[in-house]
Structure 1
Amino acid sequence: MKKNITSYSPNIILNDINLIVIVTNASGKLVYVSPATEKLLGFSNEELINEWWEKTYKSEIESQTVKEKIQQTLKGTIKVNNQSYDRQVLCKNGSNKWIEWRDSIGSDNTYISLGIDVTEWKRKEEQNLQNEVILKNINSIILVSSKDGEVIYVSPSVIKILGYSNKELIGNNWWLKTYESTGKAAQIKDAIITELFSTEPVYTNTNRQKIKTKSGSYKWIEWARSKSLNDTFISIGTDVTSRILSEIELNKAKEAAEQSLKVKNEFLANMSHEIRTPLNGIIGFTDLLLETEITEEQRKYLKTMNNSGEILLSIINDVLDLSKLESQKLEAEEIPFNLHLQIEKIVNLMDVKAGHKHIQLNLEIHKDTPKFIKSDPTKIGQILLNLIGNAVKFTNHGSVTIKAFLNEKAANGPNICFEIIDTGIGIVPNKINTVFGAFNQAKSDTSRIYGGTGLGLTIVKKLVDLLKGQITVSSIFGSGTNFKLSLPIKIEKSQIETPNVPAPIVKFEALNYNILLVEDNKTNQLLAKTRLESWKCNVDIAENGFEGVKKAEKKIYDIILMDVQMPVMDGYEATKIIKNDLSEEVSKTPILGMSAYTASSETEKMLNSGMENFIFKPFKPTDLYQMLVKYAKK
């Protein structure tokens, strides 16, 4: 029997509450829809009553399934489900709303479904789930803390980065568990709160800290912080451990490199001193002998010795300062000079050595080779000296031939070309490509048999590169070697010759200075004393800086010549004491530093110690004389 629909008219409660209520009879037809349903879904009451199954379901299959379930329930075939469930319902405007349903059986065997709109809650839940997934997969730690530093939220990512669960670090646990000490934790917490909520200056670095993991190891975390709502603040921490460890390793490598450079510089300073000290004696005494009455033959020998010393000194100036070659700080000069004379000078030097080995040294300068050019004579001389010296050293029978000629058709302009051809031992085929490498020689016993360090050709290659030239080598093992060298030059138009006559003996004026010479080397003592006494100076000698200070304290000198590298007390320390710790009168005594090491760091060190100026060994008599005249107190 069909019931009167008016018996199901809503009362005042159903009219006012925001609930969906639908009542379905055993045939699956809706017999009641609450007024709120029309408001929530947008359909009219008539549409909902007559077309509920067609209008509010996404598919016919779904609506038919639900209708059949209701019918089976009302027949008693299945029991009603008392649990709530969610289902999306279509609205008239085409949107969907999530409705939470709860079903029951009416007293008149009707199926009553009560629905609450949970769309907004669902949206927030989905957003929360999405945020949770993001926070779980983000590679940073996110903390939300109260104004007093208590942690109220920790992102799930903390377990991946530090090993803790987020619950383990809530409240004050973050500060207790992740810092190496409670004192450190309190210091950082106070600094962060002050930084965010106060205007007081903060002196503690809060942006990067070592954070302890659950395993007991530490990770470097870099933080970014900002204030948030309700007096909270957010901290975002990124794991930068790999970067920090790389920086630490880089700093260690840098310190090791700097220490290595320091050791190298100390070695070069000592080596320079050890080589220049005897060289100072050779050149100095040769100069003294040249100023005496000697025969022309003796003068010729002495001038050769003097030239040899000067060339050796020139080489030492470049070779010992390896750092300049390696860092490409050497600069090429471009000055006019007599190329023929320079070549002949080098060949004459090597001729003596070739003669001792009974090998022939041939020089062939092509007639088209320009006599005057612009380039760097010192470096060209050093290149030729190394190449010819190398050829003579490794040739036991036969000859060494030096050829010089001009190539005007080179792509980079006129080139002066050299060939150094020897009939020596040659180079084994598998070593031909390594001869320009540092300390490389053709065979392991080469150095033992022939001497040398294997550094000569390395220097040649660097100097050739510096002059923007090219060098190649070809060899037949056991038959000889041929080096070919090409250097760009400018042809000098000027034909002014330097007369090849003996240099006149320089006559120096008497100085009559009282000089204190502080020098530990006996040869240099004798050389300096002899030179200074030839200028009518009175010379007192101190063996080291300590003795120099004592003598300076007892006697006022016109000038002090102070060697810098000495035992007991070096020249730097002695100068500081004389300038700062003795009497005012003594402090005014000019001090000239003497060093065999020409690095810029050495000159700065001498001037910083209080010296008026400095002179490098071996020095020319005229340079020393001019220094004395300029700085002596008289």
Structure 2
Amino acid sequence: MEKINILIVDDRPENIIALEALLQRNDINIISTTNPNEALRLSWEMDIAIALIDVQMPEMDGFELVEILKSNPRTKEILVIFVTAISKETKHAVKGLNTGAVDYLYKPLDPYITSAKVDSFIQFVRNQREVKAKNKELEANQKELIKAKDLAEQGKRIKENFLANMSHEIRTPINGIIGITQLLKRTPLSDEQLEMVNLLEVSSNSLLGVINDVLDLSKIESGKFKISRAPTDIVKICEAVIDLLRIPSVEKKLDLTINLDTELPKMIYADSLRLNQILMNLIGNAIKFTHEGSVSLKVEILDRKGNNVKLKFSIIDSGIGIAKENIDKIFETFEQADEQTTIKFGGTGLGLSIVKNLAKLKGGLLEVQSEEFKGSTFCFTNWYEIFKETTVDIKPIEEKLIPLSNTRILVAEDNPINKFLITKILQSWQIEMDVVENGKEALEKLRENDYHLILMDTFMPVMNGLEAIKLIREGYASGKENIPIITFSAAVMDTDKATAIAAGANDVISKPFEPAVLHKKIQEYTKTIG
């Protein structure tokens, strides 16, 4: 790290010694002088970043010295801190700041304040110099970067649009085929017909899996893919993946094992769907490329910090392995380890690309160690917050939930399943309600009717919940600006909750939610109702 030069100017040597002792550290050079003229020479010859200058000095006072420094292009950017024993009156401070100083230190010096101020200015200088260096670097490469960026974005847009559109177009008929297949299985069928329908179902699900992979990839690359963390039973996730993949491992006569650290927390905050996807892809791949021997999932704790734990998921196989020169290639979209892989084993080459992107989105690290013909080990490492379980039993509480009659609520929710659940829950509490599907409809309903509270989903078509809340708070429905609003959100990140509160929400409930939590919040925000 480049050292920062700090100049100390004081006509009393004992003051210089005291300041030097206070500021001594490895990342700075301290240059000192008792002579203002010498200070000018040093400033012109050396790269001085910060100057601590005494105000009262013979021959030339601090104000005069700083005026000279600020008038010279070579020294005008030096950050000046005046050190003074004169009055703290405003007029003196104003004079110094008008001269060009950035701060004042008053004698006798407080060591903590002095150290803190100098630290902050050192960091400011470092940041400023880093920005300047980056700007020069950016300017030098700007034309090439712009050209490369335009080409990359054009190619990316074409690929994203194609993948997203094709995925959606193909998913619709496939879902129809799967639905019809399931209906057919409920009708009387001969053994031969049932066998054909089962094959049709397997083929349809296999094709849907490929399309889902393509769609996930297009979402990831377009930035539309989000990680939603919620309390997750880590042991249950791992055991479920092993159970699901046990059939193909038995068919290949492989030993599929699981080894879980005995100290694993019961529950962690994680995106269970995406963690499951990572493990399914890695273990499924291991089984696919292992002809004999074993595949094992190992989960261990690497580190702990406060309420957070660092977990390492290792998938170890005795399969065909990967040649050293192909290890990086396997994570590229639509790529396989070599040209024969697709012929021998099938697949699109999307699985590991999706795993790599998911790992990155989750803030984790994906690593691979492999030796050709001896096997591979894929490791996914990530920090997780431990979910501290409450001792409250929800079911007994739910039984005691009192009716909330004479309460009228406006519900804005576009998802049919969520809408159905919320409606049933509120009806069980004898609550009157109106239900709409987007923020725009919610605004119109609020103008027409009176409500005690609004339950608003965050993400909806036409107008999302956050936009609707802002308009309500700005007076869209006159006289109803202060109506209590609770938002539903699938995200549990602090930033997402902060965004909802900043938009004007009174509270946020994370999906999935406990009815008892919703009941308590409705009571809290409608307690004035008689």
Q: TM-score range by the shorter chain?
A: 0.3 to 0.5
TM-score between both structures, scaled by the size of structure 1 = 0.37
Rg: which structure is higher? 1
TM-score between both structures, scaled by the size of structure 2 = 0.43
